[in-house]
Structure 1
Amino acid sequence: MSLFQRSRRPRPAPRERLVMDMRDTVVYAIGDVHGCLDELRALEAKIQRDAQRFSGRKIIIMLGDYIDRGPQSRRVVDHLMAPPPKGFLRVCLVGNHEVALLLYLDGYLSRETWLGYGGRETLFSYGVDPDRLISLYGSSEQADARIREAIPASHVDFLRTLPAMVCSDQWVFVHAGIRPGIALEAQDENDLLNIREEFFEAAHRLDRWVVHGHTIVDVPTLDGRRLDIDTGAFQTGRLTALRIIGRYGRLLSSRD
């Protein structure tokens, strides 16, 4: 499902794409959180313990989709806006669910579409009951104004500034994937946030290892040169991370 195609208005400015030198660096990539703060905290605690035996720079890369579906979207955003675990840097990438919220707030997406996309749980986390909006506020315009009032400007600003991709000479970190055969700098943002089949079918032809989320898997398994680490935390209670040192990786789970 591609939300960018739902509006004829001009798209927002392209998001930043970061280049990272991963030499002497331990990277922990974390899959889709979807409002599951307890699982995120449990996984971060395991990451901190795991990282104690390694020297060098340590970076946590969040792969997007922090909100919707799970019960604690607001607290997850608060958590990610706070300082990272001691001794770590943290990079948060954007996911399609963050973009959906912003499209709604900016008037590009209807409230009904956004709520059906997962926004109901997010609204509850901000203290707004989506089932009572019209009865409480009388009109659709007033209901939308109440929602915009409930979500702190600092949260909106944070979501607006999230980059779309991090890459090194061997690795790419992105929410959904990349379109094979297209240079990284020329990738369409819609693909970075939403692509599935075209990416999956050509995974063996990729020239870098791609770590992503977006599509739920029971067990993360290397497929060609891609690894999907979205284990559906809001359904399974399992949030997954991939630790990378050089060309080698190891999976960690919030439930191990």
Structure 2
Amino acid sequence: MRNLMGWVKRRQEVLVPAPLRRRLDLGDARPLFAIYAIGDVHGCLKELKDAEERIARDMDQLGRSGLVVLLGDYIDRGPMSAQVIEHLLTPSDFGFRRLALCGNHDDIFIKFLAAPEQYMQWLELGGQQTLSSYGIDPHQLDFSKRGRDKLQQIFAANVPPRHLDFLSNLPISLKVGDFLFVHAGLRPKVMLDEQTDEDLMWIREPFLSSGWGGPGLVIHGHTPQPQPSFGPGRIGIDTGAFYTGNLTVLKLFQNEKSFI
């Protein structure tokens, strides 16, 4: 994965830099509502629906609604990436509000669609499964220069514009009180506004071992573990839903931190 991160950075050097994704801040006050953070979905629609049902039951027990924060990586690897995006674009059957953040897989998918010849390695990250979920057979595609126009026609015919808009406009971080939600983590001892988008979407070490060192508790995904992982000032909740069937939900309410 370290080699892949270097590859992504090299690609950024030769391409026109993309605008920074939004970084949301809801203020310093600890929220009066519950926040439910969902780990990496990776095309697992059934597991996502099951997680939302657990959240809805918990909200009913609390007698109040809350905010559902998804930590990114909605696509790749699992079989139903397109269906997951469509689900997230549809208002919740339970009436709660979702706030979806951007993961590295979501970001690189958009880059691949715009310039596939420069992001071919995405196919090895589970991109073939994503294309298949849109009805595109990746083995029948011509990625040469002469096939570029036909390729763009296939993408345009099969990937709905609303999916592109959704993925292109995902924010990259959310701060609520003393909680900071990001996909991957943060570079240690670097202020949030000085972190690059690639830091927040791709980092593992030294963040996992050392933590961020900034204020508050970082809630993140990106690094799959059999169980939620804990480190200095952080909780990781990517439990590899696409191969374990376990999509973790972390509940944050008042002084309580629990898994549902």
8 Å contact from structure 2 (residues 26, 176) kept in 1:
yes
Say whether 1:218 aligns with 2:223.
no
Shift of 1:248: 2.2
For 2:178, give the aligned amino acid. Q
Please, what TM-score do these two structures have when normalized by structure 1? Answer: 0.91
Say whether 1:118 aligns with 2:126.
yes
Say whether 1:79 aligns with 2:79.
no
Shift of 1:116: 1.6
8 Å contact from structure 2 (residues 67, 97) kept in 1:
yes
**Alignment equivalent of 1:199, drawn from 203, 207, 211:** 207
Say whether 1:11 aligns with 2:20.
no
For 1:13, give the aligned amino acid. P
User: Per-residue displacement from partner, 1:95-152 (whole Å, max 9, x unpaired)?
Assistant: 00011111112227535322122210001000011112239xx835423431343111
For 1:6, give the aligned amino acid. R
- The secondary structure found in structure 2 opposite 1:61 is strand
Instruction: State the distance in 1 between where 2:178 and 2:238 align.
Output: 21
What pairs up with 1:1-256 in 2 under 5 angstroms?
1-2=4-5, 3-7=8-12, 8-21=14-27, 22-107=30-115, 110=118, 112-134=120-142, 139-203=147-211, 205-252=213-260
For 1:18, give the aligned amino acid. L
Instruction: State the distance in 2 between where 1:84 and 1:91 align.
Output: 11
Residues 206 and 247 of structure 1: CA distance in aligned 2, closer, same or farther (over 3 Å): farther
- The secondary structure found in structure 2 opposite 1:18 is strand
Structure 2: any 5+ residue segments left out of the alignment? Answer: none
Q: Which range moved further: 1-10 or 155-164?
A: 1-10
Please, what TM-score do these two structures have when normalized by structure 2? Answer: 0.90
Instruction: State the distance in 1 between where 2:252 and 2:81 align.
Output: 27
Instruction: State the distance in 1 between where 2:115 and 2:211 align.
Output: 36
- The secondary structure found in structure 2 opposite 1:176 is coil
Residues 41 and 124 of structure 1: CA distance in aligned 2, closer, same or farther (over 3 Å): same
User: Per-residue displacement from partner, 1:67-106 (whole Å, max 9, x unpaired)?
Assistant: 0000000000000011124341110000000111111122
For 1:20, give the aligned amino acid. L
Instruction: State the distance in 2 between where 1:184 and 1:111 align.
Output: 27
Structure 1: any 5+ residue segments left out of the alignment? Answer: none
- The secondary structure found in structure 2 opposite 1:6 is helix
Instruction: State the distance in 1 between where 2:222 and 2:119 align.
Output: 22
Residues 41 and 105 of structure 1: CA distance in aligned 2, closer, same or farther (over 3 Å): same
For 1:235, give the aligned amino acid. Y
